[in-house]
Amino acid sequence: MGCLELVRMRAYAIETVDLTRTYVRYNYRGVRVSMDIENNPGGLLLSLYNRYFNRNVVKEEVVAVDHVNLKIPQGELVCLLGPNGSGKTTLLRILATLLKPTSGTAYVMGHDIVKEEGEVWRHVTYIAGLLTGGAWMDARLTPRQILTIQSQLYGFPRDRIEDALKLSGLEEVADVRVATFSTGMLARLSVAIGLLRDSPVYLLDEPMSGISRDVAEEIYVHMKENIVRKAKAAILYATHNLVEAERYADRVILMHKGKVIAQGKPEELISSMFREMSIEFEVSNCTREILKLVEGVSGISKFVELGETGEDSSRFVVYTENPRRVLPKVISTIVENGGEVRYVKVNKPTLEDLFIRIAREKLGDQS
């Protein structure tokens, strides 16, 4: 192993260098019928049919992952965000060695995902949710039997089984056949299988889909406190849930149409894009004079009336870069002039607001 590889192993759990994945999509008379040949044998049949018998099958090249460059150290929980088709699942499958990149490369714990596929797999736990593949489960077996088989096959400690059942909320149904399980319970079992193994790198593809909020939160806390903080593992987690990402992620990576359009700590990304916050008020005994005085409070960049809610009540919004200083000023202005504040809401920008703005500004996407 060279010096560069040793440095890379020490510095980052995951590193990608211009990682790109393209595939060929087939359309037959305007209808999308297949993905690429490598991952779908049907694509090969369509290709042969098109070559020798017909010209109605049209090939279209799609870039699923487009020159992605990431550096993720150990001891971080990083959320991968983006709409369907943004490249999240493809990226995770490449890192898990389930797909090969078209160009570029990636390193997991210093090991090249193409040249050292076996070493990469030894260091990775890949958990796919039911919506993105899930784990194979024999419906005739029980959760305890499935976890026991997994531990025997891969040499996981047997004492992890009870911990995984408890954490995933399956203790009471541990000896019930999987055939009777709901979608949410199957999703819990998929997560439980992934939690059997200790790894320095975890790749999670929407594993919480279908899992109740209370169980999902318990799993998040476990991952954050035990897997990331104590074991210093790296977790790259694809999700649609922006609220959970904002709450638990150390960093977020925003993807759109195969590209990484932003990455960083949630609060820093939001503050860099949104300098102002809006504060919404509902005030009774509100006169025109009060509204004019509020509009003139220093620190307010914009004042918008939302209309009356009753005979003597009005709603309005103020925009400011410093809500902590402006909010008490507005309240005292209202009260000192005979008004009564009935409702106040400080609207903080969210990751969803951030994603929409970045997608529109950087990529010209108005959808």
Three-state SS sequence of 58-102? EEEEEEEEEEEEEEECCCCEEEEECCCCCCHHHHHHHHCCCCCCC
Q: For residue 66, which of 236, 256, 247 has the smallest C-alpha distance? A: 256
DSSP per residue, 127-152? EE-GGGT-----TTS-HHHHHHHHHH
Q: Is it the case that residue 131 has pLDDT exceeding 70?
A: no
263 plus 292 within the same structural domain: no
The answer to whether 177 and 139 are in contact (CB under 8 A) is yes
Q: Indicate the residue among 271, 303, 325 that finishes a domain.
A: 271
CATH number (domain holding residue 76): 3.40.50.300
Residues 182-192 have a mean pLDDT of: 85
Residue 151 lies in a domain: yes
Give the three-class secondary structure for 250.
coil
- Residue reference for tokens 């008379």: 29
145 plus 229 within the same structural domain: yes
How does pLDDT run across 5-33, given as a tens digit for each residue? Answer: 544 545 799 999 999 999 877 776 666 65
pLDDT at 367: 46
218 plus 78 within the same structural domain: yes
335 plus 218 within the same structural domain: no
Would you place residue 185 in the very low, low, confident or very high pLDDT band (cuts 50, 70, 90)? Answer: confident
258 plus 221 within the same structural domain: yes
Query: Degrees (nearest 5) of the Cα angle 160, 161, 164?
Result: 85
How does pLDDT run across 86-116, given as a tens digit for each residue? Answer: 999 999 999 999 999 999 999 999 999 999 9
pLDDT at 25: 75
Residue 26 lies in a domain: no
Residue 32 lies in a domain: no
239 plus 103 within the same structural domain: yes
Give the three-class secondary structure for 225.
helix
Q: Is it the case that residue 290 has pLDDT exceeding 70?
A: yes
Q: Indicate the residue among 271, 289, 304 that finishes a domain.
A: 271
- Report how many domains make up the chain: 2
Whole-angstrom Cα distance, residue 56 to residue 109?
46
The answer to whether 294 and 330 are in contact (CB under 8 A) is yes
Residue 152 lies in a domain: yes
168 plus 259 within the same structural domain: yes
Q: Is it the case that residue 137 has pLDDT exceeding 80?
A: no
Give the three-class secondary structure for 290.
helix
The answer to whether 98 and 12 are in contact (CB under 8 A) is no
Instruction: Give the predicted TM-score (pTM) of the model.
Output: 0.77
82 plus 160 within the same structural domain: yes
> What integer best gives the mean pLDDT of the chain?
85
263 plus 336 within the same structural domain: no
How does pLDDT run across 295-310, given as a tens digit for each residue? Answer: 999 999 999 998 877 6
Residues 73-86 have a mean pLDDT of: 92
Q: For residue 113, which of 167, 174, 68, 62 has the smallest C-alpha distance? A: 68
**Which one of 22-36, 182-196, 257-271 scores highest in mean pLDDT?**
257-271
DSSP-derived letter for residue 275 is -
Q: Say which residue, 155 or 66, is predicted with more confidence.
A: 66
Residue 54 lies in a domain: no
CATH number (domain holding residue 310): 3.30.70.260
219 plus 317 within the same structural domain: no
Q: Indicate the residue among 222, 243, 271 that finishes a domain.
A: 271
Q: Which domain holds residue 308?
A: 275-348
255 plus 320 within the same structural domain: no
Residue 229 lies in a domain: yes
107 plus 246 within the same structural domain: yes
Residue 281 lies in a domain: yes
Would you place residue 187 in the very low, low, confident or very high pLDDT band (cuts 50, 70, 90)? Answer: confident
Tokens representing 332? 């005292």
Whole-angstrom Cα distance, residue 70 to residue 52?
43
Residue 80 lies in a domain: yes
Residues 6+ apart with CB under 8 A from 331: 341, 344
